[in-house]
Amino acid sequence: MSSQKPRVAVRGSERVALQGTLIGAPDPNQRIEVTVRVRRRNPLPDSAALEAQAVQPKQRRHLSREAFEAAYGADPEDIAKVEEFAHEHGLTTVTASAARRSVVLAGTVAAMSEAFGVYLAHYQTPEGIHRGRTGVVSVPEDLVDIVEGVFGLDNRPQARPHFRRLNGSEGLAPNLAQSFSYSPDQLAKLYSFPQDVNGKGQCIAIIELGGGFRTQDLTTYFAHLGIPKPKVVAVSVDGGHNQPSTPDSDDGEVMLDIEVAGAVAPGAKIVVYFAPNTDQGFLDAITTAIHDNHNKPSVISISWGSAEKNWTPQAMQTFDQAFQSAAHLGVTVCAAAGDDGSADRVNDGRQHVDFPASSSFVLACGGTHVEAPPAGPISLETVWNHGPGNGATGGGISDVFDLPAYQANAQVPPSANPDHRVGRGVPDIAADADPSTGYRVRVDGQDMVIGGTSAVAPLWAGLIALLNQKQGTPAGFINPFLYSHVAGVFKDITVGNNGAYPAHTGWDACTGLGSANGTALVHALLGQMPAGSA
């Protein structure tokens, strides 16, 4: 039996103790679920070929979800071995997906602890009581090459939403004399997003790890804007649900994401995937969206994240692989770069970038401060930074991911950390994120102004939906194309800093390539790919 075989640690699974007070062991009979991530049937093609295709849209050949599952999903034999192991340890299979390479197992705390060689404990933290573990997860040696990650044993909060309310608990900097605000459709016009398409035929996926929306709020909001209300659907993942509560909750994130994306692309279908705020919930929401063969999203907006330091290597590797899968499927992934400058809320004297924005297969979205008269154009655009504790765009150099080929000529500087590593530079692009020049939204019956790089991810998700409708084929992994078409598409942001990194001519670790002219981007894409071509 597998349980009698020597055990081996799952690579990258080591966890440090939760910052909090150890309370004691959870009830051994408590039922919990975990997600076991299984290796691919075949390795994906070299990413260099993927990047080369992304630069030349005519050469793009995105796989269907069915074809991708058949070629690069999990081998049924590997899934069967995981299920056999689970059965031997008194665990049951909840779901198994070859496409998502995920097997969800259920069992008692005692059975899970024995199966994966861990000790689970409860900790009291400022966020509440959470189940945590330390050390590594282990499996029998005959599974170590099959199992790439185990998620859910630890249910500590994994990410935070990257939004800030104006004049709220995370609001206006005390030294700011005045503020501006815009509806999302006004900002779309200021950034010259195409106005002759509305995202019809596209699906925008939004990942949420808390909060909820009320349909009546959406009805009122879009009626006020004079924009047709988009179709919005909630999908439950791992027991997460659409659960609106109060205006000062995570509802602000959910409503910001829906209202920004919906105002930019009201013709698109918006599917909101609600999951628990754990590494398991986050991963399962992303893989569910990527491989959703019913709704078929062509772009995903993620406004949640945390510093790379707060993730296990197995999590970052597994998420990164999911985003690579999205690239092969023609799904663009937009993620907020963070709202706490170059340190990203980590007080260890080092600089940190936010994940998942730091994945090389994600479009990392940074933030600016924008001033413009009602009719435009933009009169001032600088780096969003109101000083420590008052909000600033995230950005910097990854400690984990190498410099991607598409950034080879972007003159990405060495890290400001002592090792001076040259890695993946964050962000790729930027747009308005300062709450003092923020987005007018409606949350739980209240009208308010919200900013944060959380707003930039759905803004760009809406733009991608417009691009996809305009060209008749998904933009997909758009990063290499953007870096090869800077001239005439991007406005360079050269004033400001996010702490350790200053803005300057060309790409920088505050605002990336800068803010885009949406119509110019459409022309650049269509210049190489006639509308409707494959």
Buried b (16+ CB within 10 A) or exposed e, 124-157: eeeeeebbbbeebbbbbeebbebbbbbbbbbbbb
DSSP character at residue 141:
G
List the single range of 36-50, 107-121, 129-143, 214-228 with lowest mean pLDDT.
36-50
Angle between helices 251-264 and 453-471 (to 10 degrees): 30
Over the stretch 274-301, which tens digit does the pLDDT of each residue have?
999 999 999 999 999 999 999 999 999 9
Confidence of residue 322 (pLDDT cuts 50, 70, 90): very high
Question: Could you list the active site residues?
Answer: 253, 257, 454
| DSSP summary character for residue 57 | G
Answer whether residue 173 shows pLDDT above 70.
no
pLDDT at 167: 73
Residue 171, pLDDT score: 45
274 burial level (CB within 10 Å; 0-12, 13-18, 19+):
buried
**pTM of the predicted protein model:** 0.95
Residue 150 and residue 147: Cα distance in Å, rounded? 8
Does residue 498 surpass a pLDDT of 90?
yes
- How high is the mean pLDDT of the chain? 93
Would you call 215 helix, strand, or coil by DSSP? helix
The residues near 260 (Cβ < 8 Å, ≥ 6 apart) are: 184, 439, 441, 455, 458, 459, 462
Residue 447: what pLDDT?
96
Q: How confident is the model at residue 466 (pLDDT cuts 50, 70, 90)?
A: very high
Nearest to 94 by CA among 207, 209, 233, 237: 237
* Cβ–Cβ under 8 Å, residues 387 and 436: no
Residues 412-426 pLDDT 10s? 999 999 999 999 999
Distance, in Å, from the CA atom of 46 to the CA atom of 61, rounded to the nearest integer, reads: 14
Question: Mean per-residue pLDDT for 392-407?
Answer: 97
For residue 26, the model assigns a pLDDT of 94
Q: What is the pLDDT of residue 18?
A: 76
Ordered DSSP codes for 289-352: HHT-TTT--SEEEE-EEEEGGGS-HHHHHHHHHHHHHHHHHT-EEEEE--SBGGGTT--SSS--
In the predicted structure, residue 225 carries a pLDDT above the cut 50? yes
Can you tell me the distance from the alpha carbon of 300 to that of 458, in angstroms, rounded to the nearest whole number?
A: 8
Whether the per-residue pLDDT at 136 is higher than 50: the answer is yes
Average pLDDT over residues 46-64: 78
pLDDT of residue 19: 79
The confidence score (pLDDT) of residue 170 equals 46
**Is-contact 139 7, C-beta < 8 A?**
yes
Q: What is the pLDDT of residue 164?
A: 95
pLDDT, tens digit, for every residue of 195-217?
A: 999 999 999 999 999 999 999 99
Where is pLDDT greater, at 445 or 169?
445
The CATH number of the domain covering residues in 160-526? 3.40.50.200
Residue 481 phi/psi, 5° resolution? -65, -45
pLDDT at position 52 is: 77
Strand 232-236 versus strand 128-133 pairing type: unpaired
Confidence of residue 178 (pLDDT cuts 50, 70, 90): low
Query: DSSP 3-state assignment of 148?
Result: strand
Mean pLDDT of 256-276: 98
CB atoms within 10 A of CB 83: 17
Instruction: Write down the domain spans for the chain.
Output: 2-39+74-151, 160-526
Confidence of residue 79 (pLDDT cuts 50, 70, 90): very high
Residue 58 pLDDT level (bands cut at 50, 70, 90) = low
Q: Both tokens of residue 169?
A: 């608990």
In this predicted structure, the answer to whether residue 501 has a pLDDT above a threshold of 50 is yes
**Range 141-150 average pLDDT:** 97
Dist CA 380 CA 459 (whole Å):
19
The predicted pLDDT at position 96 comes to 98
Lowest mean pLDDT among 53-62, 69-78, 235-244, 430-439: 53-62
Say what the pLDDT of residue 1 is. 39
Share of the chain above pLDDT 90, in %: 87
Q: Are 451 and 164 in contact (CB under 8 A)?
A: yes
Per-residue pLDDT at 5 exceeds 90: no
Q: What is the pLDDT of residue 46?
A: 82
pLDDT digits (tens, 9 = 90+) for 82-125: 999 999 999 999 999 999 999 999 999 999 999 999 999 999 98
Mean pLDDT of 232-255: 97
Of the candidates 200, 201, 205, the residue with the CA atom closest to the CA atom of residue 232: 205
